[in-house]
Every structure is written in C-alpha cells, then in structure tokens.
Amino acid sequence: MPLYEYTCADCGKGFEVLMRDGVTPVCPACRGERVEKQLSAFAVGAGSPKAPAMPAGGPCAGCQNPAACGFGND
C-alpha cells in the first residue's frame, strides 16, 4: 500500500496515511473528509544504485556549509 500525505481543509492539520484503492481518507484530528493530497518527496534507500556514497571523512567532508544541516553545530 502506498503512503500518502494529506492536509485537512477543515482544520489545516497534515497527516500521512497508508491508502488502499477506492478508500477516502479522513482527518485523524477532526474527522473531516475534505482533505487535499500533498506532493511529497520520496526517500532513496541506502541500497539504491542512485544513492550517493558517503564521502570519506564523514557526512560533512567537503561540505561548504555544515551548519545548515546541523552536523556542524557543537
């Protein structure tokens, strides 16, 4: 089953739900049925051939702004 992201038009809360075909999602916060499907990024697994390799020296090796991701904050 695919995982979809929705935002409730009634209360504005966002939520994720595993959906089967033909099933209409309901907001878990307010039980509203006016929900809007959101575009979401997909995750790339570590075993994927398109996943970048970890640079030698760790995740910040060669990074120009390590503080942007939080790794550079001590």
- pLDDT value, residue 39: 84
Structural domain boundaries, residue 10: 1-40
Q: Does residue 72 fall inside a structural domain?
A: no
Q: What is the pLDDT of residues 10-28, one digit of tens each?
A: 999 999 998 887 888 999 9
CA dihedral sign of residues 23, 27, 31, 35: negative
Q: Does residue 15 fall inside a structural domain?
A: yes
Contact 31/10 with Cβ under 8 angstroms? no
Q: What is the pLDDT of residues 35-64, one digit of tens each?
A: 999 987 666 555 555 555 656 666 666 666
Q: Does residue 18 fall inside a structural domain?
A: yes
Q: Is 27 exposed, middle or buried (0-12, 13-18, 19+ CB in 10 A)?
A: buried
CATH of the domain at 12: 2.20.28
Contact 19/2 with Cβ under 8 angstroms? yes
Provide the number of structural domains found in the chain.
1
Q: What is the pLDDT of residues 65-74, one digit of tens each?
A: 666 665 555 4
**CA neighbours within 13 Å on the CB side: how many for 70?**
0
- pLDDT value, residue 12: 94
- pLDDT value, residue 20: 81
